[in-house]
Amino acid sequence: MVSNMSKKAAAFVPSVATMLPGSLTSQKRSYASSDETFYNPIMSNGADPWMIQHNGVYYFTCTTGNNVTIWKSDSISSLENSLKVVVWSNVNTTFEDIWAPELHYFNNHWYIYFAADVNGDNSTHRMYVLISANSDPLSKYTFIGQVTDPSDQWAIDGTVLSYNNQLYFIWSGWNSTTDKVQRLFIAPMDSPTHISGKRVIISSPTYSWETSGAAINEGPEVLQREGKTYVVYSANASWKNAYCLGMLTLEGTDPLDPASWVKTETPVFQSAGIVYGPGHNSFTKSIDGTEDWIIYHAAKYSGAGWIRSIRAQKFGWNADGTPNFGIPISPDLPVGLPSGEASQRTTYEAEQAATFNTRVVSHTYASGGQVVGHIDYADSYVRFNVNVPVTGSYTMYVRYDNGTGGDSTHNVSVNGDTARIITYPRTGAWTQGNIVTSNVSLKAGSNTITFTKGTGFAEIDCIQIPIHSNLSYGRNGSE
């Protein structure tokens, strides 16, 4: 379906949730089901994700621009409905463009490594580190200073490798101000905050899949298993569909010897289907420790540039011990919850909601095989009846499609209150789904959430409401 007009002209067979034109009304209560799966993205806006599982809890951070924010969650798929704390900001500093923070645990303290520039001048990007007051990842952090080797060149995306009881810092940087090809460097550390030796190049962009958009190696991330050490990194231009993941394998015994690192000749993770430009990832374990998961960002649609969202999927291992990341899972396909996680959301199907002057359309991507479309008129609505256990703020997940080629909106009201606007970025086609989120205030018991015509056109597949409010312990809210 290429346009809303073509949808209106198409043949239409009424479903159980719709009446014939002239009386397009359904008064059904919204059908609800416990959700044992989730759909990507896990965060509708974001880039450069870092996630670590510690003592059965996930801690997450990503690029926010002017601060370092940590999310705490007991579920990978419910990040946007989890406790969120700004642990450090650039207030009273000259720092801007704070990129790709990472959270590491050494000696009963947490260390946050991040890149920042001075007054918005990209050429001044360098790596910096914070230290926590104690073993709580959400405790107060103190700014320690720059993490640099003697060259003090442009540096971003720093991470830490622990190998044979020695720490190493790995980052993306320039050789000099006249050689700005982004390469991967490594240097020894004598503490989590200090580089103790000269840097060494371990990867330069040489293959066409690393250079077609721009010659870039960045976002190095360490992956270790059964005595083997890998560095998975992002290659090519982050604003292009060609952005992908490459991999280095430590074949020798000295990480400071460039000859010890062997590059895989082809990407290990790249665009596929309707997922474009996957990159800048991190790795984590399921709650019970039995599964390996990759967390990454990807463009929201083909050619979206830096308009990105955050995704998650399980990965496995090849017979030779190397990781097998497969291909990026389409946002149209459900993903099983990580092992050890309980269901976190209730799904309400739009085709089972109360509707007026709309039509049900069959789509294979839809969670129930159908969506509600033709929400095209001033009196059109889709009304969900949802139930929650306690009064509070909840993150509502709206699964939709928008094939218009631009943004569309709906007006959304809760229990008849003043409507707010939800914006739906384009999905590339009417047959492709995506997710947006919005915080809603709900009372204990029954609530109505009503979607009405806004600007442009969009179809609704379902909404999902978490089983916990944002203010529940260990979950959402913002401090």
Task: Give the position of tokens 């946050």.
Answer: 112
The token pair that represents 2 in the structure block: 């290429």
Q: Is 80 a catalytic residue?
A: no
- For residues 317 and 323, is the Cβ–Cβ distance under 8 A? yes
Q: How many CB atoms lie within 10 A of CB 434?
A: 26
Query: Which region holds residue 90: left if phi is over 0, alpha if psi is between -120 and 50, else beta?
Result: alpha
> How many angstroms separate the CA atoms of 176 and 130, rounded?
26
Of residues 266, 351, 460, the one with CA closest to residue 26: 351
Which of 35, 48, 80, 341 is an active site residue? 48
Using DSSP's 3-state secondary structure scheme, residue 208 falls into helix
Residue 460 forms beta bridges with which residues?
372, 400
**Long-range contact set of residues 178-183: C-beta below 8 Å, sequence gap at least 24:** 180/154, 181/205, 181/215, 181/216, 182/215, 182/216, 182/217, 182/218, 183/217
- For residues 77 and 468, is the Cβ–Cβ distance under 8 A? no
Q: Is 349 a catalytic residue?
A: no
- For residues 436 and 458, is the Cβ–Cβ distance under 8 A? no
DSSP string, 312-376: EEEEEE-TTS-EE--SPPPTTS-EEPPTTPPP-EEEEEGGGSEEES-EEEE-TTSTTSEEEE---
Any idea of the CA torsion for 247, 251, 255, 256, to the nearest 10 degrees? Answer: -100
Which of 210, 218, 459, 461 is an active site residue? 218
Of residues 263, 155, 281, 270, the one with CA closest to residue 203: 263
List residues with catalytic annotation.
48, 218
